[in-house]
Amino acid sequence: MDLLIYIGGAIAFFALVMASIGLHEIGHLVPGKLFDVRTTEYFVGFGRTLWSRRRGETEYGVKAVPVGGYVRLIGMFPPAKDRPGEVRAYSTGPFRALADNARDAEWSIIRPEDKGRLFYQKPFWQKLIIMASGPAMNILLAFVILLGVAASYGVYRSQLTISKVQECIVAADATDKTCTGKPPTPAALSGIQPGDKIVAFNGTAVSSWDDVSRLIRTNLDHPALVTVERGGQRLDLKPVNTVITGVPDRYDPSKRVAAGFFGVEPEVLRERGGPIAVVGDMWQMTKQTVVALAYFPAKVFYTAYNLVTGQPRDIYGPMSIVGASRAAGEIASTDQIDAAAKVASLFTVLGAVNLFVALFNFVPLLPLDGGHVAAAFYEAVRRAFARIRGRPDPGPVDTARLLPVAYVVGGIILISGIVLILADIIDPIQLF
């Protein structure tokens, strides 16, 4: 029975992710049609077509390899400038030939009646909206999903009230967790007690546990004066010095950094929240995701290295859609949380995946949406400077010349996907 629940949870989550990808592509499709760009295909998946149906000029369908989707907007590449009356320009090298071949393939299906309906002919702001609306759809989905979880089930948040005081300093990798022969924690020396509510640290008022955590971490081994509320009275505790220890980085938990340590654990309560709380959570997730994207190639490399050498998998490392679906199956089948918590956890993961997809697609490199967004901005700036300086309109940006970059980035994405899928099959990250 547990196996069936595991498989069902994994399949359901995978289907929800593919639905999110389909909505991402609708984010491109709708403004493309609204701005009258000739749109010939809308597909979820790649490879062989499993099912399709034509409505008007657009073929809608599903393909065999469910790892993405696309909308085909005609006229992404403008004609070559040096021979505007011809499709092909004289090739001067392999990179130029690559651009010429892609341009030839694009223009082989362009008809005379498509004039004015080609993507490159549209104003920059329309191009910007068309290409940015896909990732924007994922941001909207993330917000709606996370708001649904926060408003209905709630989110576990650390409080300012202390639930536990650690009596001694124990190394994270120590086998003996007893306090025999170990120094007391700064918290124990200060006299703080369970039930105390921290209201200030070194004279700085705090309004959330994040404030407390940040102040303690940055205090390193300097003096610390903690002010608490106890029994309705405000009380300054005995001054102590925090100590330096290694803790997970706030934005990259796989990396340990030097930080101050006090020695208390806060109460954690489940709280319902609204849009403002969700926006705050998404902002925190965004900062973590940006850091993860910056280190993504290195993390994929180390994932491959650990897989080949048999080293343990980094639990904070990246995973593929296969790994996320396996994690969803694990959440669905565990007996350590109740049904409501399972549903909330699954949709929280789905919201996080949508936010990651959005931010990943906003990376300003082709073939990602962000590459086209950057090209639209560059086109607008270039044309504005030309007008200011009284020069002729330089015309649209020739994104065909950026295809070598697109192939390199696409190759990295493909290899990364293969590595992560293999790692998620052979050595999956275990949640429970």
- Quick check: is 108 in a domain? no
Confidence at residue 57, expressed as pLDDT on a 0 to 100 scale: 93
Residue 363 has pLDDT above 90, yes or no: yes
Q: Round the average pLDDT of the chain to a whole number and report it.
A: 89
Residue 97 has pLDDT above 80, yes or no: no
- Quick check: is 23 in a domain? no
Asked whether residue 252 falls in the same domain as residue 230, the answer is yes
Q: Residue 281 has which token pair?
A: 């959570």
Asked whether residue 258 falls in the same domain as residue 348, the answer is no
What confidence tier does 89 reach under pLDDT thresholds 50, 70, 90? Answer: very low
Confidence at residue 174, expressed as pLDDT on a 0 to 100 scale: 66
- Quick check: is 196 in a domain? yes
Asked whether residue 403 falls in the same domain as residue 308, the answer is yes
- Quick check: is 216 in a domain? yes
Residue 361 has pLDDT above 50, yes or no: yes
Active site residue 25: yes
Asked whether residue 147 falls in the same domain as residue 245, the answer is no
What confidence tier does 215 reach under pLDDT thresholds 50, 70, 90? Answer: very high
Instruction: Summarize the confidence of residues 194-205 as an average pLDDT.
Output: 94
Asked whether residue 266 falls in the same domain as residue 294, the answer is no
Q: Which of 72, 73, 77, 74 is nearest to 111 (CA)?
A: 74
Residue 88 has pLDDT above 60, yes or no: no
What confidence tier does 254 reach under pLDDT thresholds 50, 70, 90? Answer: confident
Q: Residue 18 has which token pair?
A: 């593919």
Structural domain harbouring 198: 155-271
From 271, 291, 315, the end of a domain falls on 271
Confidence at residue 378, expressed as pLDDT on a 0 to 100 scale: 92
Asked whether residue 353 falls in the same domain as residue 207, the answer is no
Asked whether residue 171 falls in the same domain as residue 288, the answer is no
- Quick check: is 257 in a domain? yes
Asked whether residue 325 falls in the same domain as residue 282, the answer is yes
- Quick check: is 407 in a domain? yes
Asked whether residue 303 falls in the same domain as residue 203, the answer is no
Residue 2 has pLDDT above 80, yes or no: no
Confidence at residue 90, expressed as pLDDT on a 0 to 100 scale: 43
Confidence at residue 81, expressed as pLDDT on a 0 to 100 scale: 65
Instruction: Summarize the confidence of residues 99-110 as an average pLDDT.
Output: 75
Q: How many domains does the chain fold into?
A: 2
Q: Which of 10, 3, 7, 5 is nearest to 321 (CA)?
A: 10
CATH of the domain at 182: 2.30.42.10
Asked whether residue 267 falls in the same domain as residue 277, the answer is no
What confidence tier does 311 reach under pLDDT thresholds 50, 70, 90? Answer: confident
From 238, 271, 304, the end of a domain falls on 271
Three-state secondary structure along the chain?
A: CHHHHHHHHHHHHHHHHHHHHHHHHHHHHHHHHHCCCCEEEEEEEEEEEEEEEEECCEEEEEEEEEEEEEEEECCCCCCCCCCCCCCCCCCCCHHHHHHHHHHHHHHCCCCHHHCCCCHHHCCHHHHHHHHHHHHHHHHHHHHHHHHHHHHHCCEEEEEEEEEEECCECCCCCCCCCCCCCCCECHHHHHCCCCCCEEEEECCEECCCHHHHHHHHHHHCCCEECEEEEECCEEEECCCEECEEEEEECCCCCCCEEEEEECCEEEEEEEECCCHHHHHHHHHHHHHHHHHHHHCHHHHHHHHHHHHHHCCCCCCCCCCCHHHHHHHHHHHHHCCCCCHHHHHHHHHHHHHHHHHHHHHHHCCCCCCCHHHHHHHHHHHHHHHHHHHHCCCCCCCCCCHHHHHHHHHHHHHHHHHHHHHHHHHHHHCCCCCC
- Quick check: is 25 in a domain? no
- The segment with the largest mean pLDDT, out of 88-92, 98-102, 148-152, 398-402, is 148-152
From 223, 244, 271, the end of a domain falls on 271
Confidence at residue 228, expressed as pLDDT on a 0 to 100 scale: 94
Asked whether residue 209 falls in the same domain as residue 314, the answer is no
- Quick check: is 339 in a domain? yes
Asked whether residue 236 falls in the same domain as residue 335, the answer is no
Which of 25, 41, 106, 379 is catalytic? The answer is 25
Confidence at residue 84, expressed as pLDDT on a 0 to 100 scale: 46
